[in-house]
Amino acid sequence: MLTNLSIRNVVLIEALDLEFGPGLGVLTGETGAGKSILLDSLGLALGQRADSGLVRQGEAQASVTATFAEPPADHPARVALTGNEIDLEPGEPLIIRRTLKADGGSRAFINDQPCSAALLREIGGMLVEIHGQHDDRGLLNPRGHRALLDIFGKCDSAVVGAAHTAWRAAEAALAQALAEVEGAARDRDYLDHAVGELAAFAPEPGEEATLAGERADMQKGARLTEDLSALSDLFDGSEGGLARLRQAGRRLDRIAAEHPLLAEALAALDRAVIEASEAEEKLAAAGEALSFDPARLDTIETRLFDLRALARKHQVQPDDLAALMQEMRGKLERIDAGEEGLAALENDLAAKAAAYCTAAAALTEQRKAAAARLDAAVAGELAPLKLDAARFRTYVEALDEAAWGPHGADRVEFEISTNPGAPFAPLVKIASGGELSRFILALKVALAEEGGADTMIFDEIDRGVGGAVASAIGERLARLARHTQLLVVTHSPQVAARGAGHMLIAKSSEGTVTRTGVHALDDGARREEIARMLSGAEITAEARAQAGRLLEGV
Kindly report the number of other CB atoms within 10 A of residue 259's CB atom: 10
Domain carrying residue 312? 188-334
Contact 464, 386 (CB under 8 A): no
Distance CA 326, CA 314 (A): 14
Distance CA 346, CA 488 (A): 58
Contact 477, 486 (CB under 8 A): yes
Q: Which helix (H) or strand (E) is 463 found in, with range?
A: none
Answer yes or no: is 248 within a domain.
yes
Q: What is residue 61's predicted lDDT score, i.e. its pLDDT? A: 93
Answer yes or no: is 266 within a domain.
yes
Would strands 128-131 and 455-459 be described as parallel, antiparallel, or unpaired? parallel
pLDDT in tens, 160-188: 999 999 999 999 999 988 887 777 677 77
pLDDT in tens, 524-538: 999 999 898 888 768
**Partners of 505 in the β-ladder:** 518
Residue count of the chain: 554
Q: What is residue 514's predicted lDDT score, i.e. its pLDDT? A: 76
Answer yes or no: is 222 within a domain.
yes
Q: What is residue 472's predicted lDDT score, i.e. its pLDDT? A: 85
Distance CA 143, CA 405 (A): 14
Residue among 462, 499, 553 nearest 133 (CA): 462
Q: What is residue 324's predicted lDDT score, i.e. its pLDDT? A: 92
Answer yes or no: is 214 within a domain.
yes
Rounded to 5 degrees, what are φ and ψ at 84? -105, 20
Q: What is residue 309's predicted lDDT score, i.e. its pLDDT? A: 92
**Partners of 412 in the β-ladder:** 396
Contacts 24+ apart (CB under 8 A), 323-331: 323/205, 324/198, 325/194, 325/195, 325/198, 325/199, 325/203, 328/191, 328/194, 328/195, 328/198, 329/195, 331/184, 331/187, 331/191
Q: What is residue 422's predicted lDDT score, i.e. its pLDDT? A: 83
Answer yes or no: is 436 within a domain.
no
pLDDT in tens, 258-269: 788 878 887 887
Residue among 48, 171, 46, 162 nearest 97 (CA): 46
Total structural domains in the chain? 1
Low-confidence ranges of the chain (pLDDT < 50): 134, 136-137
Q: What is residue 152's predicted lDDT score, i.e. its pLDDT? A: 87
pLDDT in tens, 122-166: 898 889 888 765 454 457 778 888 988 988 888 989 999 999 999
Assign 3-state DSSP to the chain and report helix, strand, coil percentages, each to 5. Answer: 60, 20, 25
Residue among 140, 39, 143, 142 nearest 431 (CA): 140
Sheet containing 501-510: order of strands: 128-131, 455-459, 485-489, 24-28, 501-510, 513-520
Contact 209, 271 (CB under 8 A): no
What Å distances lie between residue 512 and 7, 12, 30, 62, 410, CA to CA?
A: 21, 12, 20, 20, 59
Answer yes or no: is 367 within a domain.
no
Answer yes or no: is 242 within a domain.
yes
What Å distances lie between residue 313 and 188, 211, 535, CA to CA?
A: 18, 19, 99
CA geometry: angle 413, 416, 422, nearest 5 deg? 130
pLDDT in tens, 418-458: 888 888 888 767 656 667 777 878 888 888 655 567 888 88
Q: What is residue 297's predicted lDDT score, i.e. its pLDDT? A: 78
Answer yes or no: is 418 within a domain.
no
